[in-house]
Amino acid sequence: MRQSPLLPCFPETAFAQGEVDGVTLAVHRRDGRSAATWMSDHSHGQRSLWVGEGAEVLLAQDGLERLDLLQRVVHPRGGWIVRLGSTRFLRVGASFARAPSVLLPGFLELPLDSADLSLGGEHAVQLLSEFCASPISGCTSTDWYPVTLAGHEVALWRDELIFHVVCAPADALSLFATLAEGLRDLGGELIGLHDIPERSQSGVKA
């Protein structure tokens, strides 16, 4: 069982922990409080980098050919995939079998640890905009949007009303601290994964 890199940011005294898609993270805020702007840990699920010419062959087998750069595309086997480079892809899902790399020449799968912070609500865009020189409004629901946020290299993606900030685990704590300070100033709150408001739930699951 893996732990979310953000788990230390959601103390057990205030947040009930649970396992979601193979990852332990904060699922419920114990006092039930919510706010118009919120932030949550969305680091569940599985992520892998698929690298090499063989990756394109593998994707073609699932009907995913000629993916556009930095566009998230739903994967027929669940989750989604995004092209990060000419022969580099990010595979994200609740769980997926490791690719048969031994059968595929020129293919390498690298399991990826990362943190995914979700933000939503009234001031989510304002909160992110403070720390990012790129226009947050430029991130659409199908984008994988690499930016520098509060000095960290991250990627933004968007699930309708919810923004996600994905970063390497070594950046997670520092990035969280900065965003949490901004969230506090805006009157926002941390919530558990399952506390995310219903109206924002569309497409929550990866």
Partner 1 sequence: MGNRLPPQPGEWIARDAPLHFTFEGLACQGFAGDTVSSALLANGVRVLGRSFKYHRPRGVLSAANHDANVLLQTASDLNIRGDVSPVMAGESYRAVNTLGGVKHDKARVIEALSALLPVGFYYKAFHKPRRMFPMWERVIRKLSGLGRIAPGFPETRSPWRRLHCDCLVIGAGPSGLAASLRLSAAGVQVVLADENAGVGGSAAWTDGASAWLAAAQATAHNSPKMTVLTGTFAAGLYSDLEVPLVSREGLTIVTPRRLLVTTGVIEQPAVFRNNDVPGVMLASAAQRLVARYGVAPFTRGVMLAGNPEACEASAWLLERGLALDALLVLPGFKPTPEILAKLEARDVRIVRDVTALEALSQNGVLTGVRCEAGGCELRFACDGLLMSAGWAPATQLLHQGGARFAHEAVIDQRIPTELPVGLYAAGRVNGVYTLEARRQDGEAAADEILASLGYSSARTPRPPRAGEAHSHPRPFFAHPRGRNFVDFDEDIQLHDLEVACREGFDNIELLKRFTTNGMGPSQGKHSNLNAARWLADYHGVGMDAVGSTTARPFYHPVPMGVLAGRRIRPQAHGALEPQHRAAGAVWMEAGAWLRPRRYADSGPTGLAEYRAVREGVGVIDVSTLGKLEIFGRDAVRLLELAFTGRFASLKAGRSRYVLLCDHRGTVVDDGLAACLGEHHFYLTAGSGHVTATCRQLTQIAALYGLQVEVVDRTRQMTAINVAGPRARMLLQPHTPQGIDDAAFPFTQVRDTTLFGLPARMMRVGFVGETGFEVHVRYTDGPHLWQALLEAGAPLGLRPFGVETQRLLRLEKAHLIVGHDTDGVMHPFETPLAGLVALDKPQFLGKAALDLLQHQVNRRLVGFETSEAGSEALEECHLIIREGEICGRITSVARSPVLGKTIGLAVLECVADQPLPEAIELRNGRGQLVRANLREGAFYDPANSRQQEGTA
By the criterion CB under 8 A, which residues form the site for partner 1? 2-3, 5, 8, 49, 51-53, 85-88, 106, 108, 110-114, 126, 129-133, 135, 137, 150-152, 168-175, 178, 181-182, 185
Smallest separation (angstroms) from partner 1 to the CB of 150: 5
Smallest separation (angstroms) from partner 1 to the CB of 148: 9
- Looking at beta carbons only, is 56 or 159 nearer to partner 1? 56
- Looking at beta carbons only, is 112 or 161 nearer to partner 1? 112
Q: Which two tokens stand for residue 9?
A: 């940011």
Other residues' Cβ atoms within 10 Å of the Cβ of residue 43: 29
- Looking at beta carbons only, is 8 or 11 nearer to partner 1? 8
- Looking at beta carbons only, is 13 or 86 nearer to partner 1? 86
Smallest separation (angstroms) from partner 1 to the CB of 76: 24
Smallest separation (angstroms) from partner 1 to the CB of 191: 22
